[in-house]
Homo-oligomer: A and B are copies of this chain.
Amino acid sequence: MSTRIDGLQYANWSEKIFRQLREGAVDAIHVTITYHENFRETVLNVERWNRWFERYPDLIFQGRTADDVVLARKTGRTAIFFGSQNPSCMEDDIGLVEVLHTLGLRFMQLTYNNQSLLASGCYEDEDTGLTRMGRQVVAEMNRVGLVVDMSHSGERSTLEAIAHSSRPIAITHANPSSWHPALRNKSDTVLKALSETGGMLGLSLYPHHLKHGSDCQLQQFCDMAARTLELMGDGCVGIGSDLCQDQPDSIVEWMRVGRWTKQVDYGEGSAQAPGFPQMPSWFEDNRDFGSLEQGLRAAGLSDQQVAGILGENWLRFFVKSFGAQGTGPGAVHSISE
């Protein structure tokens, strides 16, 4: 079986889910460890993960380099790579970029839905692109090997991040807006600019990003994946399921409201449906990667294309992205070593 990597999950982690990762043969996942948490609160979340790593060493361990994906396959475990969906964790301090990378952060979104100190989120009326600080921080992220993730950013900010970044960036969890015109999905202009610079798109299974929402059919999703390969090429599309398994609805409220308003902001939801949406029946947890693989084949994709989407593309991106700039891509060691 080829490498399986999920480009974004934010579950309410438990031994059950760690075991499901193994049942689904998922070698590595990028997990969101923080949204609006400041640096100290983010460190508390790191501590929480450290306790899970200590408690379940036979199931999971912290991933820091692409080699850890190989190690995970070799030892039958899942490598966990940290990421942030907002730059709150670095507060207003560019020096924290390197510190967070040392702690294991490998992806950081320049914005969640709102304006940040660095760029504009996709829910703002106006998108200014990268701010003065944003340009400085992208350069620092490039230097240390912290991937710029623009999943929740506005169009102009995303295009400017792609142009300004000296290393490929990622959109870890979103779909083409030409397929489903959600505010969070991305235009063909963005997707082409992303692929032309070696960046990665993780296709999202979060219902608000899907045509027909929770009722989206497996084959509709996989046909969209096939069309996205036609647009972007084979090497830069993966999965970023955005699986928020077992999370209580209080969490989606924190994600949307943080501490920025005293009112309720429903984000992609509504007053009638304020909570997490129900996942499609064919992708409810990590055991469903097999059915996804079947769907991709049924969409007419080759073995190599399917393997690329399910993990090999993310793996190549990890190889070139997580080390310090100028150190050259570390060749990933063969699992047959």
B117 adjacent to A132 (CB under 8 Å) = no
A116: nearest chain-B partner, CB-CB: B117
Residues 33 to 55 of chain A near chain B (Cβ within 8 Å) = 36, 38
Question: Please, which residues of chain B bring their CB within 8 A of the CB of A115?
Answer: 115, 117, 128, 131-134
B259 adjacent to A136 (CB under 8 Å) = no
* CA A88 to CA B92, docked complex, whole Å: 8
Most buried by B among A36, A88, A259: A259
A132's partner among B93, B123, B259 (CB-CB below 8 A) is B123
A95's partner among B125, B132, B259 (CB-CB below 8 A) is B259
Residues 73 to 128 of chain A near chain B (Cβ within 8 Å) = 88, 91-95, 114-117, 120, 123-128
Question: Please, which residues of chain B bring their CB within 8 A of the CB of A327?
Answer: none
The answer to the question of A262 belonging to the interface, with a C-beta cut-off of 8 Å to chain B, is yes
A113: nearest chain-B partner, CB-CB: B132
* CA A262 to CA B95, docked complex, whole Å: 8
The answer to the question of A129 belonging to the interface, with a C-beta cut-off of 8 Å to chain B, is yes
Question: Please, which residues of chain B bring their CB within 8 A of the CB of A91?
Answer: 38, 91, 259
* CA A263 to CA B263, docked complex, whole Å: 38
A128's partner among B92, B128, B260 (CB-CB below 8 A) is B128
Given the known inter-chain contacts A114-B117, A115-B117, A117-B117, please indicate yes or no for A261 contacting B94, CB distance below 8 A: yes
For the complex formed, measure the closest distance between the CB of A255 and the CB atoms of chain B, giving whole angstroms.
Answer: 14
A136 adjacent to B93 (CB under 8 Å) = no
Most buried by B among A127, A261, A263: A261
Interface string of A245-267 (1 = CB under 8 A from B): 00000000000001111110000
Q: Supply 10 A–B pairs (Cβ within 8 Å), ascending by A.
A: A91-B91, A92-B258, A94-B260, A94-B262, A115-B134, A117-B260, A124-B132, A125-B132, A126-B128, A136-B262
